[in-house]
A and B are shown apart, each in its own frame.
Chain A
Amino acid sequence: MQQSEKTAPRARVKESRREKWREKKEARRISAIPKQQRISHVSASDKVAPYLLSLPAFLIVFIFVFLAALNTIRLAFTDSTMLVPGHFIGIQNFLDIKNDPYFKYAIVNSSLYVVCVVPFMVILPLILANLVRGNTKIMDFFRTSFYMPVVMSAVVVGMIWTNLLDSHGLVNSFFLAVHWVQKPIPFLTDRWLLLFSCMFVTIWLGLGYYMVIYLTALANIDESLYEAAQLDGCNAAQEFIHVTMPGCRPTMILVMMLSTIAAFRVFNEVYVMTNGLGGPGGEDMTMSMLIQQEGTGLQAHTGYASALSIIVLLIVGVLLIIENVLQRRLDR
């Protein structure tokens, strides 16, 4: 809070924000808390409060996700299939991964996904949220519309985009009609273009989702900050950089984390855009698709799929740690 400010508007902005809170605090303090209860000391109930508060969430997460996942760890060291329990085989599954022809594709594609998609997911929805703030009917309409892709089923999304992007689709028909290209662009059949097409769909889907998260963060930025910025003659872009982005910083970090996890584990978009095959030759397979291919069905190789799951877990964990470290570096 006490860092020196680089720019004048920011300093003023901070000061005015602080004033706001003081007023607010005053109002709350008087109205919200019943008088007779204001005297008590740090009580026993305060000590157990954090445990009671987090207990329901802890129990549900622990029992239904954490415990269930322990089974995955056990399976990873066996040659189990879906219906046959199998034996302990040490780290053989992990050794097999090295020779898996798909793994090479999957790890490259999933990593590329993170690199290419995350920056867009952090910035674009924030800009969009900035454009649809305000409680007018027209903004209600835009906000609701922009959220629509999020609630559409993956199958429908896949159907729509494959139809739009294939060689006879609307996009190629248009490009051909205006003579931008001589022959159809292979959006769905070229290894790299297909991956980029999938990324596009991911961003298309994610815009509304992260926009909603950003909207709440924007609500916490004081209107007077924008006024102050305008008085200092900031234009829209400067306002965005000096007021909006600092005000949403924690949320941007959160979105970065969430979209990193989602991007590395991308499944639906690639699955529906490639009919579950991972593109020609399986070259567009992602880690989650590989896990799904190996780990579902009546003859699933659950042991091997579990080993792959653990690899994914470790990689995403490392990615998050790296992001955390980088972010702390930037803070200093």
Chain B
Amino acid sequence: MKQHKVTVGKFFQYLILVLVFILLVGPLIWEISLSFKGPRDNVYAVPPYIIPKSPTWNNYVKVFHQVPIFRYMLNTLIVAALSIFGNVAFSTMAGYALARLKWHGRKLVYLMIMVTMIIPVEGVIISQFLIMRALNLQNTLLAVALPGMVGAINILLMTNAMAAIPNELEEAAEVDGASVWQRFIHICVPECKGTMTVVGIFAFVGSWNDFLWPLIVLSDENKYTLTLGMNRLKGIFIQDPRLIAAGAMVALIPIIVFFLCFQRYFFRGLEQGALKG
């Protein structure tokens, strides 16, 4: 009887997954198809079609020819690495302090972070630029990464994850005389690996896709990030949608790889728990 129930459940599960897949990924497939369409393909055909009539790699060749992809990708990776490090390390630390320790000013700091999260960013970008200039950092990759190195949302995510750790775990260690640092590193950090991965992915995607801030803070093209470089594909006089699609695909690949590699860690905690039981 149980066996039967599982199969019906599985059937519906996969049915829903496939439907959601079509809904969420369909548009992406359209982009992929567009990026392979050649000059004889009518991009605006009604009704639209997916399989290119004159498939070509040419759009990709053009992208690599027009944009120094590898240099820009390296720049973006540097920014992304800084951002991932900052967000994962600093929000985990702050999350632990905010969720599990008692100290003066905790509420104030928490409040400040909440307020930061709801500040409309549209207005602050010029001030940020002025601060960067005062620090003599403008036109550096560090300046691109700095304001995003700790996201308020990530701090909240980590605080939430830290708060979810049962008190018993830490109390036992405390009884044994473990210091705050030891409890943090040996007990709480391993429990939060899943959320830390998520924070890392958010940080990666955020810095990978950011456009306006790098545009404003960078003036030297050798330091451009990938989104800035890809924007070049938009011609000032003529736009070729195929070229833009190919550029978007190239920029997307690293994110897909990154996500594929790290998503399994979402379940780290679960595996460990389940194995012992």
Question: Which residues of chain A have a CB within 8 Å of any CB of chain B?
Answer: 18, 20-25, 27-29, 32-33, 37-41, 43, 45-46, 49-51, 53-54, 56-58, 60-72, 75, 128, 131-135, 140, 142-153, 156-157, 160-161, 163-164, 168, 170, 173, 204, 207-208, 212-213, 215-220, 222-224, 236, 250-251, 254, 257-258, 261, 265, 288, 291-292, 295-296, 302, 305-306, 309, 312-313, 316-317, 320
Q: Which B residues are in CB contact (< 8 Å) with A40?
A: 177, 179
Within 8 A of A (CB), among B171-193: 172-173, 176-182, 184, 186-187
Are B268 and A219 neighbours in the complex by a CB distance under 8 Å? yes
Q: Complex Cα distance A57/B113, Å? A: 9
Are A24 and B273 neighbours in the complex by a CB distance under 8 Å? yes
Question: Which residues of chain B have a CB within 8 Å of any CB of chain A?
Answer: 9, 13, 16-17, 20-21, 23-25, 27-28, 30-31, 46-48, 86, 89-91, 93-94, 96-98, 101-103, 105-106, 109, 112-120, 122-128, 131, 146-147, 149-150, 152-153, 155-157, 160-161, 163-164, 166, 168-169, 172-173, 176-182, 184, 186-187, 194-195, 197-198, 201-202, 205, 208-209, 227, 245, 248, 252, 255-256, 259-260, 263-264, 266-271, 273-274, 276-277
By DSSP majority rule, is chain B's interface helix, strand, loop, or mixed? helix
Kindly list 13 other residue pairs between chains A and B, CB separation below 8 angstroms, not including A54-B94, A140-B260, A320-B118. Answer: A49-B101, A49-B179, A65-B152, A71-B123, A132-B17, A146-B25, A151-B209, A153-B209, A219-B194, A254-B156, A295-B122, A309-B119, A313-B119
Are A64 and B147 neighbours in the complex by a CB distance under 8 Å? yes
A-B contact count (CB 8 A): 296
Are B160 and A254 neighbours in the complex by a CB distance under 8 Å? yes
Q: Which B residues are in CB contact (< 8 Å) with A217?
A: 164
Of B47, B102, B131, B198, the contact of A64 (CB 8 Å cutoff): B131
Are A204 and B150 neighbours in the complex by a CB distance under 8 Å? no
Q: In whole Å, how far is B50's beta carbon from the nearest beta carbon of chain A?
A: 11
Among residues of B, the one whose C-beta sits closest to the C-beta of A267 is B122
Q: Complex Cα distance A217/B205, Å? A: 21
Q: Which A residues are in CB contact (< 8 Å) with B120?
A: 72, 265, 288, 291, 309, 312-313
Could you jot down 13 A-B contacts, CB within 8 Å?
A20-B276, A54-B93, A54-B109, A60-B90, A65-B147, A70-B127, A128-B20, A132-B17, A160-B30, A213-B198, A218-B270, A309-B122, A313-B119
